[in-house]
Chains A and B, each alone.
Chain A
């Protein structure tokens, strides 16, 4: 123990444990310990993992398998190939609601008060949750891609680019967990959160190129769909996997520069959600 100089009036625990390895390692340790808490939850009550995985799987079976005969994608791309990135994105979107509900429940049950009364950084409480949610996302992405391979999806651009596509998806999942935290800290009513989460899922996925090319949408909705961050993430993945029908099917600036638009929109979304989520978290305790 490095015996740091302590005030004579405070002889007890503060002096006893200065924390191993300095503030950064301490902070990481807190974050991992808290992430571990959520992973234990998953083991005990795997409902969340099942929900986050089942939803995209059902869409994959329903749209990608049952409807594939009537779906014709310009550019000669197989519908199984086209749909995969659109399905994978659901993993991130489906997680928003459960993340938000988890945050709101912790706030309601006083656990957050307990954590906030400890000498730890409040950010590790939120970071711990996003880390464990990222693990959930990775597990269900794996499940979804395996089923995708089963119904005929194939990446055509080699291992590295395929992995890069999953990297983009994980980044999207992570940003979405922060959106969930923002929702959970600002809207504390569980039913309202549930509804909002479902709305986010439906609007963001249907107003995009996830299931059909943007060119297949009504004209006035196309600009919205083109600039929907989901569209550029999906396009980026398709390009990386060799599943993209080409610019003709989407159009606009985002279609020409999907990588750039993805990077910019996700970063902006992340910053806004982190700012709002941390603020909401502080507020929730009454400042």
Chain B
């Protein structure tokens, strides 16, 4: 049976409500003992997917096997083997941390004494012993999440679902939580975690599935995903518009994709190669040699927005649609593409190309995190004017707040 090596399997998972369709057929396969990061913006279908896999919601299409059991027909067996941490830390605020754990342990049939012992163990492991006998309502956000995580591992689940485990946490608490998740993963638990942050997926996940508008649009290792997006970007702001050309010329020494100019912001951005430090030094040297008066130099990591632009944007420029458009990133950089192919491959799901792009842009227009400048020239022009060619021209207007 495939169940022993695939802990989570979803095939064509669909969910339609009366007025809309949340999932358009999600396919996932998570090998036992690995961590899958499900990456996507709000409303992409991450939570619905998790809720179906955790037996809380019935799918309207497809099937899913978790820990060897069908989520619809064998829900109870699934529930014996999973832990779920929802988007809100589901702790009882009036109960103390310890009482929360004891209650859940008793529901998992540890018995009175066993429950007390297990609670003490977990309080210790999640560094909550000091606050154990305070009502959970007095906990900080990070402590609540830790307590929440502790409650979902009481029964030693084989599979753990974490729905945006660090959303709303400060960086310090986030790091603590990451350590906890890494610990659990090291202990052999299969984890599916959803996140809006590329960095989080990068830190925790063995593989990443990017979903948008209810579909998986890409799947692969975080590295292959980032290669797809490209590496760090260098953004150089110059003193005056007349200096832009010089800056472009200077940055061209990197030899990668052409630098992109943003005239209104007097900014030129260029993608650094995989050995970013070298490129950075060469770029700085070239700028100095040419005597370009720079106001600001910024190094920016690729964000989820970039991933999105890259995936949806690349797809949008498939030849049949508009052959005049520049070729996709990967083909522009044959060396990188070849390496990507040698290592674990990144599967960009080819089938729903056109619909994905169209649907991705609808929420974006309403203020979603992704904003395609080409699609909305007038309003976007003030904040972030359209840049020139290729997938890189899709200027990312919202900085990831990390």
Q: Which residues of A contact B (CB under 8 A)?
A: 7, 9-10, 12-14, 16-17, 19-20, 26, 29-30, 33-34, 36-37, 40-41, 44-45, 109-111, 113-120, 285-287
Do residues A30 and B103 form an inter-chain contact, with CB atoms below 8 A? no
Check: B87 CB closer than 8 A to any chain A CB: yes
The interface residues of chain A lying within 8 Å CB-to-CB of B56 are 113, 116-117, 285-286
Do residues B86 and A119 form an inter-chain contact, with CB atoms below 8 A? no
Do residues B156 and A110 form an inter-chain contact, with CB atoms below 8 A? no
The interface residues of chain A lying within 8 Å CB-to-CB of B68 are 7, 9-10
The interface residues of chain A lying within 8 Å CB-to-CB of B111 are 20
Provided the pairs A110-B87, A286-B56 are in contact, do residues A12 and B158 lie with their beta carbons within 8 angstroms? yes
Do residues A41 and B107 form an inter-chain contact, with CB atoms below 8 A? no
Q: Which residues of B contact A (CB under 8 A)?
A: 1, 3-4, 51, 54-58, 67-68, 76-77, 79-84, 86-92, 94-95, 99, 103-104, 106-111, 135, 151-152, 155-158
Do residues A17 and B110 form an inter-chain contact, with CB atoms below 8 A? yes
Do residues B4 and A33 form an inter-chain contact, with CB atoms below 8 A? no
Do residues B99 and A40 form an inter-chain contact, with CB atoms below 8 A? yes
Name the 3 nearest CB pairs between A and B, nearest first. A110-B90, A117-B84, A14-B80
Do residues B110 and A44 form an inter-chain contact, with CB atoms below 8 A? no
Interchain CB contact (< 8 A) of B107 among A20, A115, A286, A287: A115
Do residues A36 and B103 form an inter-chain contact, with CB atoms below 8 A? yes
Do residues B107 and A10 form an inter-chain contact, with CB atoms below 8 A? no
A20 to B83, CA, bound (A): 21
The interface residues of chain A lying within 8 Å CB-to-CB of B55 are 116-117
A167 to B36, CA, bound (A): 56
Do residues B81 and A13 form an inter-chain contact, with CB atoms below 8 A? yes
How far is the CB of A10 from the nearest CB of chain B, in Å? Answer: 6
The interface residues of chain A lying within 8 Å CB-to-CB of B84 are 113-114, 117
Do residues B76 and A119 form an inter-chain contact, with CB atoms below 8 A? yes
The interface residues of chain A lying within 8 Å CB-to-CB of B158 are 10, 12-13
Interchain CB contact (< 8 A) of A29 among B54, B99, B109: B109
Do residues A109 and B79 form an inter-chain contact, with CB atoms below 8 A? no
How far is the CB of A107 from the nearest CB of chain B, in Å? Answer: 11
| Closest chain A residue, CB of each to CB of B155 | A13
Provided the pairs A9-B1, A113-B86 are in contact, do residues A33 and B107 lie with their beta carbons within 8 angstroms? yes
Do residues B94 and A118 form an inter-chain contact, with CB atoms below 8 A? no
Do residues B81 and A44 form an inter-chain contact, with CB atoms below 8 A? no
Do residues A30 and B107 form an inter-chain contact, with CB atoms below 8 A? yes
A118 to B95, CA, bound (A): 19
- Given contact pairs A12-B81, A17-B109, A119-B76, enumerate 8 new A-B contacts (beta carbons under 8 Å): A10-B77, A13-B158, A40-B94, A113-B86, A117-B56, A119-B108, A285-B56, A286-B57
How far is the CB of A45 from the nearest CB of chain B, in Å? Answer: 6
The interface residues of chain A lying within 8 Å CB-to-CB of B79 are 117-119
Interchain CB contact (< 8 A) of B67 among A10, A40, A111, A114: A10
Do residues A9 and B107 form an inter-chain contact, with CB atoms below 8 A? no
The 12 listed contacts between A and B (C-beta, < 8 Å) are A10-B158, A12-B157, A17-B110, A20-B109, A110-B89, A110-B90, A113-B86, A114-B151, A115-B107, A118-B104, A118-B108, A119-B79
| Closest chain B residue, CB of each to CB of A111 | B90
A38 to B56, CA, bound (A): 23
| Closest chain A residue, CB of each to CB of B135 | A44
Do residues B57 and A285 form an inter-chain contact, with CB atoms below 8 A? yes
The interface residues of chain A lying within 8 Å CB-to-CB of B4 are 9
The interface residues of chain A lying within 8 Å CB-to-CB of B87 are 110
Interchain CB contact (< 8 A) of B109 among A26, A117, A285: A26
Do residues A117 and B54 form an inter-chain contact, with CB atoms below 8 A? yes
Do residues B156 and A44 form an inter-chain contact, with CB atoms below 8 A? no
The interface residues of chain B lying within 8 Å CB-to-CB of A16 are 156
A156 to B54, CA, bound (A): 58
Do residues A118 and B107 form an inter-chain contact, with CB atoms below 8 A? yes
A114 to B157, CA, bound (A): 14
| Closest chain B residue, CB of each to CB of A16 | B156
How far is the CB of B84 from the nearest CB of chain A, in Å? Answer: 4
A117 to B110, CA, bound (A): 17
The interface residues of chain A lying within 8 Å CB-to-CB of B99 are 37, 40
